[in-house]
A and B are shown apart, each in its own frame.
Chain A
Amino acid sequence: MTRLSDKLESMRKAGKKALFIYITAGAPDFQTTVEAVKAAEKAGADVIEIGMPFSDPIADGPVIQEASVIALKNGATMKKILGLIKELRKFTQIPLVGMGYINNILTYGVEKFIDDFKDAGLDGMIIPDLPHEESADMRAVCKQADFHLIEFVTPNTIPARIKETCLSADGFIYCVSVNGVTGVRAIDYSVINDIAKLVREETSVPLAVGFGIGSPEAALAASEVADAVIVGSAVVKKILEKDIAGASELIAAIRTALDERVK
């Protein structure tokens, strides 16, 4: 078992919904990232996604694009992100999942990446531009290393593909709420909730819904079927303004909403 699986299983047993918070590494600087992770955990985050900035993030909307540009401008590198993870592990055992694009990992070297980052304390990886068709090699290496490689479903994923995805699902399944990119907006979560129901029939791997969630109301709507919700842009926006208190407030409000719904 990994930190991630332990956490999600214990939450499921307790009948609680998990809260994932995405934070872009190095935006606006690494010191702020460390503070933000501490604050997010304190405010009620269960899992932290560490965004690894890429020059051409095609799955991301304006806020995370901007965070990526700022992080890269301020000198974020894979080596520094590795350092960040080691730093975080000095004070927290919260599950950490990376979210980054495939080119940075290919450049680093797939096996070396998994060795180094797992060793530093990363529990798995979300790679938005690595669909199932392209992930076979990486999946094999990850499995060997007991390192989660996250699979995706979206509103457009057809049932045959859902079946295939579920067969190799590991850690959790990222349920993308909407056709499009990351960023807060009004979304009809019933679409992904219906997909999540289909996924449920295929696998017991936990489901996390992400994209568009920026308020307690949206988190509630998104977590109707799934085990967890992922909040990114709304928090990153506040972190970019160095408003850690504001980020904490939002996270705490979502936490409260998720917990109260269970009661």
Chain B
Amino acid sequence: MPDKNGRFGAFGGQYVPETVMPVLMELQEAYAKYKEDPEFKAEVDGYLKEYAGRPTKLYYAERLTKHYGKAKIYLKREDLLHTGAHKINNALAQAVLAKKMGKKRIVAETGAGQHGVACATVAALFGMECCVFMGEEDIRRQSLNVFRMRLLGSKVIPVTSGTGTLKDATSEAIRYWASNINDTHYIIGSVVGPHPYPMIVRDFQAVIGEEIKAQVKANNVNLKYVVACVGGGSNAMGTFYPLKDDKAVTKIGVEAAGRSDKEGDHAKSLTLGRPGVLHGAYSYLLQTDDGQVVEAYSISAGLDYPGVGPEHSYFKDSGIVKYVAVDDKEALDAFQLLSRTEGIIPAVESSHALAYLEKLMPTTKDDEAVVVCLSGRGDKDVQMVASILGEDLK
């Protein structure tokens, strides 16, 4: 998977304008060539190790385990990577690929700014130009990340079209790419978009699951469950994919239930959506009865995307992964719980995965183990959480 048409079962494909097709073909060819190339792999692995800080720890959260009093809880510490989230895995590897393809410029979309910062970082590292498209509304909410990207030498371009959020920033990045395809590589931030992107981003994030497998084995951990949050789904895909054939491990993807099940109040693409086409792929999608895409909402800016990676749609329909959802409040509670019990402030995205432990842990046994992918750190969210909790930081 995917097949030669970029399909994961019924999902995926290449629903893009003809202008973009030749460059997708070029990318497919380049990726097929480099992915087995030992030199390419060594270069990417070198940067992941020396620059980003891989491998990340599989940390036994003893006090959190005691809190629930059931299975052992381990945290996959992607939050400890350079730039503070798993996004750097994909950004680094794609930038190396772009360099090999002779591209001079990087274009990216960003919601909360984590993927944008990761791209700005690798662009600085490799001396490439970088433009990041970001919704006007997100720019206002995430001014610190906007400054970070500018500090790193990237251009941040405000997107006012549509609703001015992540989905519109993605559309605008695709439009920009279509207009500058000869010298520009588009680093998409998740396992979404047209083929071959869902496959490429999956492969570059699969290091998370590969490491979990090796670490579990080395430490004799009786792994029964892995849990990860799902927006577009890149950290979850990276976690689940290497374990997809291991029937002894239950894989749970956690979507953002936002503030209610009303249209526009959540980001439950898999658990409440209907398959459709957005940004080049056929996948579960939040949309109206007429096929217009509906804005997603979550307290977490990294999860409020109305679509989801097509391979997740396949995993859902084939039962390989179980998808659930937790709401804003549950995520906020988990955010605070991990901070107090372990001294780790998690990203509010990752807090969604942690929040599901409330439901999962009572069903587990003492001799089992649960791994939660801690996809990012929560510094970026502290200000927002403070204001929700009624603290004035001024």
Contact = CB atoms under 8 A, between A and B. Distances in A.
A180 interface: yes
Interface of A: 54-59, 61-62, 65-66, 69, 72, 77-79, 101-108, 128-134, 152-158, 161, 176, 178-181
Interface residues of B, number: 36
Contacts of B175: 58-59, 61, 180-181
A65 B162 CA distance: 8
A58 B289 contact: no
Interface string B250-283: 0000000000000000000000000011111010
B280 A129 contact: yes
Given A56-B162, A62-B161, A181-B179, A157 B291 contact: no
Interface stretch (B9-17, B87-95, B221-229): B9-17
Nearest to B276: A103
A237 to B, nearest CB: 15
Given A105-B291, A131-B17, 17 more contacts: A55-B293, A58-B16, A59-B17, A59-B175, A61-B175, A77-B290, A103-B293, A106-B282, A129-B16, A129-B17, A129-B277, A131-B16, A133-B14, A156-B22, A161-B21, A179-B178, A179-B180
A130 B289 contact: no
A133 B21 contact: yes
Contacts of B17: 58-59, 128-129, 131, 152, 154, 176
Nearest to A69: B162
B324 interface: no
B19 A102 contact: no
B286 to A, nearest CB: 11
A78 B289 CA distance: 10
Nearest to A105: B291
A176 B290 contact: no
B143 interface: no
B77 interface: no
A1 to B, nearest CB: 27
Contact of A106 (B180, B182, B276, B292): B276
B375 interface: no
Contact of A131 (B18, B161, B174, B179): B18
Contacts of B13: 133-134
